[in-house]
Amino acid sequence: MNYSVSFPSGTVQYYTAGSFATLHEIVDTDDCIVLTDNHIATIYHSLLAPYRTIVIPAGEDHKTAETISYITDELLKYEAHRHTTLIALGGGMITDIGGYVASIYMRGLHYGFIPTTILGMVDAAIGGKNGINHKLQKNLLGTINQPQFVLYDAGFLQSLPLEEWSNGFAEVIKYACLFDKPLFKELEQHDIDYYRGNQTALNKIIETCADWKNKIVLADERETGARKLLNFGHTTGHAFETLYQLPHGYAVALGMMVACQASIEHCMLDASVPQRLQHLLQAYKLPVQQAIDIPKVMDVLRMDKKRNKSSIDFILLTEIGNAVIKPLSTEEIQSALVSFSHASHS
Ligand code: GLY
């Protein structure tokens, strides 16, 4: 089903059962440029052959100002102008950097996303927040500006390594924890292999999660309230990602475990929930334990841009499917990290 969503910063057309082969029906292919990474460019070499492409190295480490400078040089070489459409084909790193460069090049090009990972499909390609990392902080530089379209082509998932499936399912589990108890229960009944072998069930999950993201962003595009809920598992998750070089979804899985510990203490979350979450994360091949250096984690958290004076807005669960935003003091966060750390050693 195709549909559009009108956010304050722009209207996005979603092509949910699309195909890269139908791109010419959406954009003027003579005046578009595809931005992708070296892995995708290699795997899909013949698919991309008719297009002008800009290829950058894969990996979050390359989501930097240097790469923006390279992409800008290439756009200039191709004589990209205000009516050129930039198409970001790839995972979250490509859509983040692609959306950002498209938003600033000549004060804004039209752009579209073709996410090639589950994480991209349920999260990174939706919401309009795009940006790059600074050496001192992830996603420090960025914009909020919606793409013209997001095209879902499930065919790209075939080439995904297992780790990328787990990465995406961390965000799927996040939506289930935050908003959707039936989804949580459905996920509990299956595992990652079930969804890898069942395209229909996978598509349904992706659509459900994309709907949740759209609904929340529609209500609060600039993240002044409800959108903060989407940071469940991400506050400490980002710190783990930075300190232990974990893939994003793995770090979020650990962050959700920490948030569950804090939720027992501050939101009277039933003590059985961390164990259910742990089993669920394990069924989707995500980590649930990590040896952490608490003072170092706290140092990274203090740098976190979500910090508000002496407290940090934390997303906590009151039950599966219901979350609240609660400012926690550094002592309270430290205590949740200690509980997580003890659970990791028991
Ligand atoms: N690009 C991801 C988001 O806006 O949340």
Choice from 126, 215, 234 to test ligand 1 binding pocket (greatest atom count within 8 A of CB) = 126
Closest by CA to 254, choosing from 273, 268, 274, is 274
Q: Where are the domains of the chain?
A: 2-159, 162-345
Mean pLDDT of each 10-residue bin along the chain, 346 residues long: 94 95 93 97 96 96 97 98 97 98 97 98 98 88 97 94 97 98 98 96 97 98 96 95 94 98 95 96 97 94 68 95 96 94 77
Which ligand 1 atom is at minimum distance from the Cα of 129?
A: 4
127 lines ligand 1 (CB under 6 A): yes
Q: 2-159: what fold?
A: Rossmann fold (3.40.50)
Residue 139 CB neighbours (<10 A): 16
> CA-to-CA distance for 332 and 319, rounded, in angstroms?
20
How does 234-253 read in b/e, with b if 16+ C-beta sit within 10 Å?
bbbbbbbbbbbebbbbbbbb
Between the CA of 337 and the centroid of ligand 1 the distance, in Å, is 27
Between the CA of 45 and the centroid of ligand 1 the distance, in Å, is 28
129 lines ligand 1 (CB under 6 A): yes
Instruction: Give residue 135's pLDDT.
Output: 86
Instruction: Give residue 221's pLDDT.
Output: 98
Instruction: Give residue 309's pLDDT.
Output: 66
Q: What pTM does this model have? A: 0.95
Instruction: Give residue 305's pLDDT.
Output: 53
Between the CA of 346 and the centroid of ligand 1 the distance, in Å, is 36
Instruction: Give residue 308's pLDDT.
Output: 55
Choice from 5, 7, 121, 129 to test ligand 1 binding pocket (greatest atom count within 8 A of CB) = 129
Phi and psi at residue 92, to the nearest 5°: -60, -35
Query: Residue written as tokens 């002044």?
Result: 224
Instruction: Give residue 111's pLDDT.
Output: 98
128 lines ligand 1 (CB under 6 A): yes
177 lines ligand 1 (CB under 6 A): no
Instruction: Give residue 343's pLDDT.
Output: 80
CB neighbours of 255 closer than 8 A, spacing ≥ 6? 232, 233, 234, 235, 236, 237, 238, 240
Is the torsion defined by CA of 204, 249, 129, 179 positive or negative? positive
- CA distances for 322 relative to 102, 177, 281, angstroms: 36, 7, 18
Between the CA of 246 and the centroid of ligand 1 the distance, in Å, is 20
Contact by Cβ (8 Å): 291, 344: yes
Which ligand 1 atom is at minimum distance from the Cα of 125?
A: 1
Which ligand 1 atom is at minimum distance from the Cα of 127?
A: 4
Between the CA of 130 and the centroid of ligand 1 the distance, in Å, is 6
Q: 162-345: what fold?
A: Dehydroquinate synthase-like, alpha domain (1.20.1090)
